[in-house]
């Protein structure tokens, strides 16, 4: 059945089940655009865009979905968009794809930040355990030995977990500061030694 005919037949039934001038006006103004993989797309002209909210309310939306579903004899989801042409729906689908892409990028970025944060947290804890295991920590030769081992640990972590975001940068700096604190060396010198160990120089 053609969607225009379905909508035309369904409207009187829908109107009997919903209340409110705004909802009635919105139903009368809506234009059926497409039935796309279970989604019944209704559009509103730009001048009527403020009416879209009435159709997105839970009760009117459910009535429309149930009514259209009966006519089509299948489960239907209603989507309200701005515009009344098929091209408007195609544009909306492209926006959906782009929105999903951006959400996925943000999620992947967040996962990477969490992973790198956990990695550098482990390095930080490893440095603390290493220092705690040193006997006679007050002796400079023992602190120097710790320093060499600590630089190796951070250098390996830098290779395995490159700095790609602000969180990793902060956690990396935190590890350098920890070594500096334990060895009573400037943190810039610690950072320089790690870079030399990692990249040569």
Q: pLDDT tens across 116-125, in order?
A: 556 888 889 8
**Residue 31 located in a structural domain:** yes
* pLDDT at residue 31 tops 90: yes
* Residue pLDDT, tens place only, 139-149: 999 999 999 99
Around Cβ 151, how many Cβ atoms within 10 Å?
Answer: 21
* pLDDT at residue 113 tops 80: no
Is 48 strand, coil or helix?
Answer: helix
Domain count, the chain: 2
**Residue 185 located in a structural domain:** yes
User: Is there a contact between 173 and 154 (Cβ–Cβ < 8 Å)?
Assistant: no
Whole-number pLDDT of residue 55: 92
Same domain membership, residue 58 and residue 9: yes
Half-sphere exposure of 180 (CA within 13 A, CB side): 16
Q: Is the pTM of this model over 0.75?
A: no
Spatial neighbors of 170 by CB under 8 A, at least 6 apart, are none
**Residue 99 located in a structural domain:** no
Rounded to an integer, what distance in angstroms lies between the CA atom of residue 82 and that of residue 27? 14
Rounded to an integer, what distance in angstroms lies between the CA atom of residue 195 and that of residue 201? 8
């Amino acid at each position: 059945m053609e969607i225009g005919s379905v909508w035309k037949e369904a409207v009187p039934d829908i109107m009997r089940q919903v209340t409110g001038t705004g909802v009635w006006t919105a139903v009368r103004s809506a234009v059926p655009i497409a039935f796309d993989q279970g989604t019944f797309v209704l559009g509103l002209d730009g001048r009527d865009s403020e009416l879209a909210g009435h159709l997105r309310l839970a009760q009117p939306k459910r009535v429309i979905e149930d009514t259209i579903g009966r006519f089509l004899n299948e489960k239907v989801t209603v989507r309200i968009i701005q515009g009344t042409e098929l091209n408007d729906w195609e544009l909306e689908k492209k926006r959906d794809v782009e929105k999903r892409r951006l959400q996925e990028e943000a999620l992947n970025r967040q996962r990477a930040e969490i992973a790198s944060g956990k990695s550098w947290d482990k390095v930080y804890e490893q440095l603390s355990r290493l220092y705690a295991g040193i006997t006679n920590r007050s002796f400079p030769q023992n602190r120097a030995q710790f320093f060499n081992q600590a630089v190796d640990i951070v250098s390996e972590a830098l290779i395995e977990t490159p700095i790609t975001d602000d969180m990793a940068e902060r956690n990396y700096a935190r590890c350098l500061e920890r070594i500096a604190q334990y060895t009573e060396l400037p943190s810039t010198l610690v950072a320089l030694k790690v870079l030399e160990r990692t990249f040569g120089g």
